[in-house]
Amino acid sequence: MSPPTISEPSFGSNIIEDKRSDGYWVETFHFDKEDPVPGIITSGLVSGEIEFIDNPIAVHAASEKAGTNGYHNPEVTQPWTKHLIGKFDSPVAVVACDITKNGLMDLIICHTYGPFMLKCDMAGGWVSWLENPGRDKLGDGKWKERKIGRWPAMHRMKAGYFTQKSFLEVVAASVVRGEADKVSPIMVMC
């Protein structure tokens, strides 16, 4: 029996945004668990801006569900809308999860990293939560921010149920133990 033939995919490109000042992170983001397609979360190390770029297909579906658009238009070709939802000193990793369990995806961000790993900010490494306010308040500015904790040079995170099944946990790891320290072991924290 011969292996199945796998067709070669083709790739294309579309410009979603063309005036970014800087970029570091891109994350798929379902604003609401009901969204048929995701939007995108972007961040920049230099600008510090966390932005939600809303997919026009999701916007259209949400307005139809709420009965606010007055007509049905299945062909959605509007531009993607950008919303500044947070601003931090040197944001690094971004994780999307529903912390409040209300069907809206929130964000966890590690930030205040420092200029580079061997000059990490020893008072930084913050992990913060941005609470999704809902689509009806999306244009009202930055999302409510809460601090979760910190460790210098915090660099990567994942959310899940790692040690139990009752509440969401965040696993986080720094890139180095501290300033100018590439040899000491780091901790992976939950």
In a domain, 93, yes or no: yes
Sequence-distant (≥ 6) Cβ neighbours of residue 108 within 8 angstroms = 94, 95, 97, 99, 127, 128, 129, 130, 148, 157, 159, 170
Q: State the pLDDT at residue 71.
A: 46
Q: Number of structural domains, the chain?
A: 1
What sign has the CA pseudo-torsion 125, 82, 96, 104? positive
In a domain, 164, yes or no: yes
In a domain, 4, yes or no: no
CA distance 54 to 30: 9
Burial 77-104 (b: 16+ CB within 10 A, else e): eeebebbebbbbebbbbbbbbbbeeeeb
Average pLDDT over residues 68-78: 54
Active site residues: 155
In a domain, 151, yes or no: yes
Q: Which of 10-14, 31-35, 98-102 has the lowest mean pLDDT?
A: 10-14
- Chain mean pLDDT for the chain: 88
The predicted model scores a pTM of 0.85
- Rounded to 5 degrees, what are φ and ψ at 170? -120, 125
In a domain, 11, yes or no: no
Q: State the pLDDT at residue 100.
A: 94
Average pLDDT over residues 67-73: 51
In a domain, 106, yes or no: yes
Domain that includes residue 149, residue range? 25-189
Q: Which of 6-20, 21-35, 59-73 has the lowest mean pLDDT?
A: 59-73
In a domain, 19, yes or no: no
